[in-house]
Amino acid sequence: MTASAQPTQPRRSDATRAAILRAARERFAADGYERATIRAIATDAQIDPSMVMRYYGSKEGLFAAAAEFDLRLPDLAAVPPAHLGEVLIRHFLARWEGDETLVALLRAASTNPGAAERMRGIFVDQLAAAVARFGTDPATTARRAGLVASQILGLAFTRYIVRLPPMVDTPAEELVPWIAPTLQRYLTGLPEN
């Protein structure tokens, strides 16, 4: 299904397709799914709206293509167990500041069922798989991954979507010592009574 299956020879319209995708990510990230119109995206990409339909079938199809995302989580089995939280939060912050796809996905997930589904896939499959790799009790893996997701997504939501002043003004480096222990406990700790 994805483009990397076979080395299909490059099409002449690849530049257009890429421009559409780039504009789509920007608009979806800035405006959310419903406010981002195909016409606006096409204008940004300097092509006709009908091109978007031809190459991506529908608005849903365009979003699906634009929201393709890999967390690129490091192999947690290779990380010193005591540093898991810090490695994770650093990785996520870097991933988030460098790629607007996640913001687009986050914004859209609030109102678009497909986007929410995608988000679930990413944070259940990819994250839970990574958490499982360093050998916690399998019975608790899903919950630990969910808790980590809740803090990570909450950070992103307050920092990039709602833009709470204290979360926006604090540099990423200063957030690490606060968030890292939280993730560390979610991953390796026990609940407190």
Partner DNA sequence: AACTGATGCCAACAGGTGTTGGCAAACGCT
Partner DNA sequence: AGCGTTTGCCAACACCTGTTGGCATCAGTT
Contacts with DNA by CB under 7 A lie at 11-13, 15-16, 36-40, 46-54, 58-60
Residues in region 37-96 near its own copies by CB under 8 A:
none
As a whole number of angstroms, the distance between CA 38 and CA 55 comes to 12
Task: Note whether 155 binds its own copies by CB under 8 A.
Answer: yes
As measured in angstroms, the least distance from the Cβ of 1 to DNA is: 18
Stretch that binds its own copies, among 2-10, 18-26, 74-82, 137-145 (CB under 8 A): 137-145
By beta-carbon proximity to its own copies, the closer residue of 7 and 166 is 166
CA-atom Rg of the chain in angstroms: 19
Determine the Cα–Cα distance for residues 104 and 24; give it in Å rounded to an integer.
Answer: 9
Q: Which of 71, 63, 59 is nearest to 130 (CA)?
A: 71
The nearer residue to DNA, 30 or 172, going by C-beta atoms, is 30
CB within 8 Å of 125: residues ≥ 6 apart:
none
CB of 58 to DNA, least distance (A): 3
- CA pair distance 79, 23, nearest whole angstrom: 37
Looking at the Cβ atoms of 13 and 136, the one nearer to DNA is 13
